[in-house]
């Protein structure tokens, strides 16, 4: 085989690698947290997802896999109720800093207020929890976490970020949850302007955590969806599409 022919083959192989390799690397940094579109409509929960309930709240939000157009999504109906669906995962937010999701709501709350316990309800939210890291807290806090583990069988999250669809607060608002300083609420959407319209969101969890807590985040321990109305005693209907984590 002539030298020119060999060089031609090598150049072609390099060109193929230049085209294929970046897309392959991109594919490796995608993590499907909730591939709801691949599920079948019905009452069964998506694979890997479990109910997230609270002991003092007896009435729970109803979550159902339905078909919206040609895509399967989760429909949430809350009537003076609160609960969520959670997928417990252990994943590095430095490797997968970005979260993408789709959501849609049918209404907001008249009395929703991110600053008050009586208004701490949201027609839709994406809930990110972060695992307990004993190296980050003091002696007394470690005692509390060890007691909680004995009671619940596992350590509770050390912190959480809620990406919320607020009723009235301005987009971009970040406040502490009225029940806990270790839960930060970030307003991604607000109000009635885009009711009944699918919206696609993207957030940088890693950067948001640093902005919220002033330090680098520990490992992510879970991702949940939640529609609640137990404090306002109102009602809401929301829809959640696929949720992904990615490196870019």
Token couple for 205:
């969890």
Contact 158, 131 (CB under 8 A): yes
Segment 230-244 shows an average pLDDT of 98
Q: Over the stretch 68-107, which tens digit does the pLDDT of each residue have?
A: 999 999 999 999 999 999 999 999 999 999 999 999 999 9
Helix and strand element counts for the chain (H, E): 3, 13
Q: Which residue shows structure tokens 């709801």?
A: 36
pLDDT at 20: 42
- How far apart, in Å, are the Cα atoms of 182 and each of 30, 119, 161? 28, 18, 8
The stretch 210-224 carries a mean pLDDT of: 97
User: Residue 13 pLDDT more than 50?
Assistant: no
pLDDT per residue over 102-150, tens digit each? 999 999 999 999 999 999 999 999 999 999 877 766 666 767 666 555 6
Instruction: Calculate Rg over the CA atoms of the chain.
Output: 21
CATH class entry, domain 30-246: mainly beta
Residue 232 vs residue 145, higher pLDDT = 232
Q: Which two tokens stand for residue 136?
A: 């980050």
Can you give the pLDDT at residue 150? 60
Per-residue pLDDT band for 14 (boundaries 50, 70, 90) equals very low
The domain ranges of the chain are 30-246
The residue count of the chain comes to: 248
- What does the pLDDT look like over 140-179, one tens digit per residue? 676 766 655 565 556 578 999 999 999 999 999 999 999 9
Judge contact between 240 and 101, C-beta under 8 A.
yes
Is the pLDDT score of 18 beyond 50? no
Residue with token string 């995962």: 89
Q: Write the pLDDT tens digit of every residue in 37-73.
A: 999 999 788 889 999 999 899 999 999 999 999 999 9
Question: Distance between CA atoms of 106 and 102, rounded to whole angstroms?
Answer: 14
pLDDT score of 7: 53
What does the block give as tokens for 116? 């008050």
Residue 213 has pLDDT above 80, yes or no: yes
Mean pLDDT, rounded, for 170-194: 97
pLDDT at 207: 98
CA distance 118 to 232: 6
Average pLDDT of the chain is 88
The rounded distance, in Å, linking the Cα atoms of 144 and 224 is 24
């Amino acid at each position: 085989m002539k030298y020119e022919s060999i060089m031609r083959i090598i150049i072609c192989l390099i060109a193929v690698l230049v085209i294929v390799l970046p897309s392959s690397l991109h594919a490796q940094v995608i993590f499907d947290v909730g591939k709801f579109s691949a599920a079948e409509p019905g009452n069964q929960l998506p694979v890997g997802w479990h109910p997230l309930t609270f002991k003092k709240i007896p009435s729970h939000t109803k979550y159902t896999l339905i078909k919206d157009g040609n895509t399967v999504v989760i429909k949430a109906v809350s009537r003076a109720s609160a609960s969520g669906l959670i997928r417990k995962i252990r994943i590095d937010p430095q490797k997968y800093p970005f979260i993408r999701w789709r959501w849609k709501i049918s209404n907001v709350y008249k009395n929703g207020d991110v600053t008050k316990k009586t208004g701490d309800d949201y027609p839709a939210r994406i809930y990110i929890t972060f695992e307990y890291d004993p190296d980050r807290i003091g002696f007394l806090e470690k005692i509390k976490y060890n007691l909680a583990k004995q009671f619940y069988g596992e350590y509770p999250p050390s912190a959480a970020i809620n990406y919320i669809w607020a009723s009235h607060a301005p987009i971009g608002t970040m406040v502490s949850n009225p029940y806990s300083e270790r839960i930060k609420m970030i307003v991604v959407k607000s109000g009635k302007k885009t009711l009944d319209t699918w919206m696609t969101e993207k957030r940088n969890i890693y950067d948001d955590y640093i902005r919220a807590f002033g330090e680098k985040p520990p490992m992510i321990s879970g991702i949940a969806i939640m529609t609640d109305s137990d404090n306002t005693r109102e009602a809401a209907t929301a829809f959640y599409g696929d949720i992904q984590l990615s490196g870019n």
